[in-house]
């Protein structure tokens, strides 16, 4: 990885950390490209079962680096479509759970990246912020889609246009954060959760993520049909045989992802 991203391993957990602390991990063309490479590396490595996505320094991310956000030949629309979108799609498509660990705050498109992850752990003092109406822009990075589905239209619209700081505890109450932990132990807690999840059957986790992502848009029968298809494939796997045998023999299963 380049200097903008730190890629580290803790057992079966890959830690992908944005490394532009002097700019509060503001997004640039380079950071997007390096994040994409990091997620590709995590996907290729079969020994990686879960991913922790975080930021170095005082924040997860302050959003787009406005000092660099409007330079270069690419338009703002182009940046969203061809720089940000591929990373967000990688997070959604990778068949491994992505845990966003938020120190400090996640603002703007940084908030979108945190919410787009599969699971969200926040430090006690951290918050989310959608500041777009203070700079005459609108929420991006899929934030409108995410917030409306997770909060409902009225609450999502209010949060966005009032540029309200949403505390970690409030995020937990609203159901957009899974856990809130002390700031000093944020990364360790996220890695420990990732390690715990790494013992779950990887094919089962991947299929559940796939179907639940689809369920955000699909109707009931469409989702039911996909469940049936995935269940048919899982039932033929070696891991399913191992899981059932371990259950009957009252022992811990040893899943191989096959």
Would you list the DSSP string of 53-116? EEESTT-SB-SB-TTTTT-SSS-HHHHIIIIIHHHHHHHHHSSS-EEEEESSEEETHHHHHHHH
Cα separation of 233 and 208, whole Å? 13
Does residue 2 surpass a pLDDT of 80? Answer: no
Cα separation of 59 and 62, whole Å? 7
Residues 6 or more apart in contact with residue 196 via CB below 8 angstroms: none
Q: For 203-213, what is each residue's pLDDT tens digit? A: 999 999 999 99
Cα separation of 181 and 122, whole Å? 6
* Residue closest to 129 by CA, chosen among 175, 95, 164, 169: 164
Q: For 124-135, what is each residue's pLDDT tens digit? A: 999 999 999 999
Cα separation of 78 and 84, whole Å? 9
Chain mean position to CA 230 = 23
Sorting pLDDT into bands at 50, 70 and 90, what band is 217? Answer: confident
Whole-structure pTM value: 0.95
* Domains of the chain and any CATH numbers: 5-197 (3.90.226.10), 202-248 (1.10.12)
Does residue 73 surpass a pLDDT of 90? Answer: no
Q: What is the pLDDT of residue 75?
A: 87
Sorting pLDDT into bands at 50, 70 and 90, what band is 71? Answer: low
| Arithmetic mean of pLDDT over the chain | 95
């Amino acid at each position: 990885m380049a200097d903008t991203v730190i890629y580290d391993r803790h057992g079966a957990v890959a830690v992908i950390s944005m490394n532009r602390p002097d700019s509060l991990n503001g997004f640039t063309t380079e950071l997007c490209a390096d994040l994409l490479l990091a997620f590709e590396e995590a996907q290729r490595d079969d020994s990686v079962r879960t991913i922790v996505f975080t930021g170095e320094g005082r924040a997860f991310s302050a959003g787009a680096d406005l000092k660099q956000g409007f330079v270069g030949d690419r338009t703002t629309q182009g940046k969203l479509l061809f720089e940000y979108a591929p990373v967000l799609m990688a997070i959604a498509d990778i068949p491994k759970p992505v845990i966003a660990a938020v120190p400090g705050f996640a603002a703007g498109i940084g908030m979108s990246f945190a919410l787009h992850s599969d699971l969200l752990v926040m430090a006690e003092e951290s918050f989310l912020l959608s500041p777009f109406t203070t700079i005459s822009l609108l929420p991006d990075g899929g934030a409108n889609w995410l917030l409306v589905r997770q909060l409902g239209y009225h609450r999502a619209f209010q949060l966005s246009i009032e540029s309200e700081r949403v505390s970690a505890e409030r995020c937990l109450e609203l159901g957009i954060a899974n856990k809130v932990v002390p700031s000093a132990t944020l990364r360790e807690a996220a890695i420990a959760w990732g390690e715990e999840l790494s013992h779950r059957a990887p094919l089962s986790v991947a299929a559940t993520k796939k179907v639940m992502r689809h369920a955000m848009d699909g109707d009931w029968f469409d989702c039911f049909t996909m469940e049936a298809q995935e269940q048919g494939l899982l039932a033929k796997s070696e891991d399913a045989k191992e899981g059932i045998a371990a259950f009957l023999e009252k022992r811990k299963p040893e899943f191989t992802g096959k």
